[in-house]
Structure 1
Amino acid sequence: MDNNANVFSNEKITVTYEPRCCANAGICAKQLSDVFRNSVIPWIDLNGAKTKTIINQINKCPSGALQYYLNKKEVA
């Protein structure tokens, strides 16, 4: 059963990581190491940069292993 171990969320964004698709180019960790960290668990820290910066970095992922969607707050 999948326990969504590769899903990371904060109030604004949810990031998913599919390790089987990853090309291990390391672009994410090299260019935005405050969010995509090599030696720390959890390895994605969405508080490390602004949401727009994270989205721009995910869009550079050559394999598509990193994906995102914006979280919508429900209006009461």
Structure 2
Amino acid sequence: MKTYPKEDIKIGWESEKCIHAAFCAKGLPKVFKPRDRPWIQAENATKQEIIDQVAKCPSGALSIIH
């Protein structure tokens, strides 16, 4: 699992679970940018916006770690 920090949380990403449904990139494109490195740019949204979007991940590849 790769992690990306945001304030007092981390965004977790498990590539092997990802089904590339693109809910993250379509829902919050200023943070989730599959063509960029790093592809998760947490500084571009509020913590709550990120938490809300991660909750919509259909595969569970994205998670919030407290």
Q: What TM-score, normalized by structure 2, do the two folds share? A: 0.91
Alpha-carbon offset, residue 39 of structure 1 = 1.2
Whether the 8 Å CA contact 2:24–2:32 is kept in 1: the answer is: yes
Which residues of structure 1 form unaligned runs of 5+?
Answer: 71-76
Report the Cα distance in structure 2 between the residues aligned to 1:58 and 1:12, rounded to whole angstroms.
16
Aligned length: 66
Larger C-alpha radius of gyration, 1 or 2? 1
In structure 1, the partner of 2:57 is 61
In structure 1, the partner of 2:14 is 18
Of Structure 1 and Structure 2, the greater strand share is in 2
In structure 1, the partner of 2:28 is 32
Q: Moved runs in structure 1, 4+ residues, more than 2 A? A: none
Q: How much identity, in percent, do the aligned residues show?
A: 38
Report the Cα distance in structure 2 between the residues aligned to 1:33 and 1:42, rounded to whole angstroms.
13
Q: What TM-score, normalized by structure 1, do the two folds share? A: 0.80
Of Structure 1 and Structure 2, the greater helix share is in 2
**Could you say what secondary structure the match of 1:57 adopts?**
helix
Which residues of structure 2 form unaligned runs of 5+?
Answer: none
Alpha-carbon offset, residue 69 of structure 1 = 2.1
